[in-house]
Structure 1
Amino acid sequence: MNKFGIMLGHTYFTKLKSKSFIVTTVIMLIAVILFANIGRIIAFFDNDSEKYHLAVIDQTTGVFELFEQHVGDVTDDMMLTKVAETEEALQKAVNKGTYDGYLILETDKTNVLKGIYKAPSLAQSGRTMELQSALQATKSTLAAEQLQLSPEQLESLNSPVLLEKVSLMEHAKSEEELNQARGLVYILLFIIYFAVIFYANTVGIEIANEKSSRVMEILISSVSPTKQMFAKIIGLALVSLTQMALFLGIGYVAISKNFDTLQGGFFDFFGFGETSISSILYAIVFFLLGYLLFATLAAFLGSLVSRTEDAQQMLMPISFILMIGFFIAMYGLSNPESTVVTVTSFIPFFTPMLMFLRVGMLNIPLWETMLSISLMVLTIGILATIGARVYRGGVLMYGHSRSFKDIKKALQLTKNE
């Protein structure tokens, strides 16, 4: 146990002091701070402080004033000017910068209002949507006047229909709870996916790098392969948790300072005010088990190669497995009760994302959750047992190793010792 602790501490502090860790952490922290202040940054560099100036040619019977009123209801960032110029003259004015664009108001053969919007670029889709919304409101108002509808009747006509949703299943989540759970699961799925895919692969790459220095031959003779492998895995896991704690801590402080005037607090703003403690605990459990599962797999795959380039190719299947699970989880966000999500949630390599999705969005029996966790623990144990044997023989293999046939060769080297 003493040797395990020494190796664990050495792995942790060596990685913590490495330039790559420090540089990566600093860059990511800067990115987190920039993301938290993105609104202020955009406002600082935004040169479009002036209103969008739109010329309007009114070919109708006095619709411009009503249209201008509805534009004001939609946005306060647009200024309209009614003109009587020709299109050719307006195009020259737009090219000179007098106007940002122009709109032609006219009616079709059935006397229905329509608009033709012209601008140097149509990339600003928001402007198009604002104009379309104002035109739609103007058209509805004109139709109401023709039908002699009162404003109250028009409002009643345009009001959306209400569909009340009630679940017949006992203890089922309400629509509000489902939306809240979906948001939390969506964010945590990304955290689990990217954290596991990055940190687990780091384990394999670190082992491949150590092999290139031949230090592994000395360690393997004095420390059991199982202890060495898990010292590396747990040590890097602690480094990963340290880095994530920094990201979350700095991110929380930075975002809180930007939203300190909002009512309801930080978590209420993001819709997590009523998040249950069990959901957070399940997220932690599935994240840690997912990391251990893939890190164990990455450890003995990394021990088969001695170059970083080969390690990345050998570890590629791990990325594919995680991608498949992630895509199924994205589908499951809108259909968590589907058969494919239910079945794959019990496959250990997909469990961290898919079972967590089901736990977060559905009221599933406790035995299903415990069964999936047990299967993951069992798989980790099997991988650890096989991995320790592969690890012991794999660290003695040098040269180009890009085939999974080398696993058999590594096992044979272990038997010959």
Structure 2
Amino acid sequence: KPSFKQKIQNSSHASSIKEISTMILIFVMYFILTTYASITAQEIASEKGSKIMEIIFSSMKAIRYFYGKILAVFCVIMTHLAIYFVGGWIFFEVAARTKSLAPIIKKYKPLIDGVIHNLVSSSLLYVILGVIIYTILSALCGALVSRAEDASKATQPTMVLTMVGFFGALSLQQSPNNLFVRIFSYVPFTSSFFMPIRLVNGTVSPLENTISLVILVVTIVVMLIYIGKIYGGLVLQTDDIGLFKSLKRGISTR
């Protein structure tokens, strides 16, 4: 007698997994960037206001110092994210062994596993690369001002790009095939917000994912090299002449 097995997928879980995964990725990107963009810019602006940079640059190249600064900020951010992941893992492990919470964890285990699977996929790579490119931009903004008090004003371009990506992704997360989502998933400063939407919903091919990643990585490398070359000229000038004039002078004195 033939045996018949039927497996019915819970569509409500599938849609909830996509929605929760997208929301977590978008909010993590937003809060990390809004927190560390101002910190990075303010720290560089504070160093620029002192005379210690002349001493540092006399013993090492400005580009090497810039690379070290970006690496240090990136390590701090990664430590922050690691604490969140480890803390979440410990919470679920303890909750699974608690009598009052164990039935709830067991009931929603497929949902939790699906969300975790989406978080540790290629979407996490976009979050990491997005943190790097915005950190570089924040460092540039901090080097353009002569006083630490002006750091918040200098980070306005970074904050505008962050808010465009955040609110755009938040409003279009239910429309992964939207034309704007598809276009902005290839733009370097917004792909970290929009491409995870397409990845979570499975509406992007491996080739499209690779193209977006290559564009993002190439942009990061170009920014890192170019800003590193003009970093010394930006930091050593202490005149309050405005952002664009400071950038122009830094480019001319690289």
Q: Which TM-score band (shorter chain)?
A: 0.7 to 0.9
Match for residue 367 of structure 1 among 207, 216, 235: 207
Structure 2 partner of 1:272: 112
1:401 Cα offset (Å):
4.6
Structure 1 residue aligned with 2:197, among 347, 354, 357? 357
Asked if structure 1 preserves the Cα contact closer than 8 Å seen for 2:165 and 2:190, the reply is yes
Say yes or no: does 1:205 pair with 2:42: yes
State how far apart, in whole Å, the 1-side matches of 2:141 and 2:103 are: 50
Alignment partner of 1:396 is 2:211: no
2:170 is matched with 330
Q: Secondary structure at the match of 2:253?
A: helix
* 1:235 is the counterpart of 2:72: yes
Cα distance change of structure 1 residues 237 and 267 upon mapping to structure 2, 3 Å threshold: farther
1:145-294 alignment to 2 at 5 Å? Answer: 176-254=13-91, 257=94, 260=98, 261-263=101-103, 265=105, 268=108, 271-275=111-115, 277=117, 279-294=119-134
> Residue 377 of structure 1 corresponds to which residue in structure 2?
217
Q: CA deviation at 1:225?
A: 2.4
Select the structure that is richer in strand.
1
What is the percentage of aligned positions where both structures have the same residue? 26
Q: CA deviation at 1:243?
A: 2.8
Change in 2 beyond 3 A, CA 1:398/1:270: farther
- The answer to whether the 8 Å contact 2:33/2:131 transfers is yes
User: Highest Rg: 1 or 2?
Assistant: 1
Conserved? CA contact 2:95–2:105, under 8 Å: no
Query: Normalized against structure 1, the TM-score is what?
Result: 0.53
What displacement does 1:256 show? 5.7
**282-291 or 264-273, which deviates more:** 264-273
Shift in CA distance, 402/309, structure 1 to aligned 2, threshold 3 Å: farther
Tell me by how many angstroms 1:384 deviates.
1.5
Structure 2 unpaired stretches of 5+: 1-9
Q: Distance in 1 between matches of 2:32 and 2:110?
A: 21
Q: Secondary structure at 1:271's aligned position in 2?
A: helix
Q: CA RMSD in A?
A: 2.5
Q: What does 1:5-24 align with in structure 2 at a 5 Å threshold?
A: none
Q: From the two aligned structures, give the one with the greater helix fraction.
A: 2
CA–CA distance in 2 between the matches of 1:217 and 1:196? 29
CA distance in 1, matches of 2:107, 2:159: 32
User: 1:266: how far off?
Assistant: 7.7
Deviation at 1:254, TM superposition (A): 4.8
Shift, 1:238, TM fit: 1.1
Q: How many equivalent pairs are there? A: 242
Map 1:397-416 onto structure 2 (within 5 A).
Answer: 397-414=237-254
Q: Note if contact 1:208-1:307 (Cα within 8 Å) is conserved in structure 2.
A: yes
Q: 1:345-395, CA deviations, whole angstroms, 9 ceiling, x for partnerless residues?
A: 111000111001111112311111111111111111221122113311001
Distance 1:403 1:326, change over 3 A: same
- TM-score normalised to structure 2 length: 0.85
SS in 2 for 1:398: coil
Q: Which amino acid aligns with 1:405?
A: K
Report deviation, 1:239: 1.6
Name the counterpart of 1:46.
Answer: none
Answering whether residue 230 of structure 2 is matched by residue 386 of structure 1, we say no
Aligned amino acid, residue 408 of structure 1: K
| In structure 2, C-alpha distance between the alignment counterparts of 1:246 and 1:377, rounded to whole Å | 26
Letter in 2 for 1:213: S
The alpha carbon displacement at 1:308 in A equals 1.8
Q: Which amino acid aligns with 1:301?
A: C
Q: How does 1:66-215 map to 2 (within 5 A)?
A: 176-215=13-52
CA offset at residue 399 of structure 1?
3.6
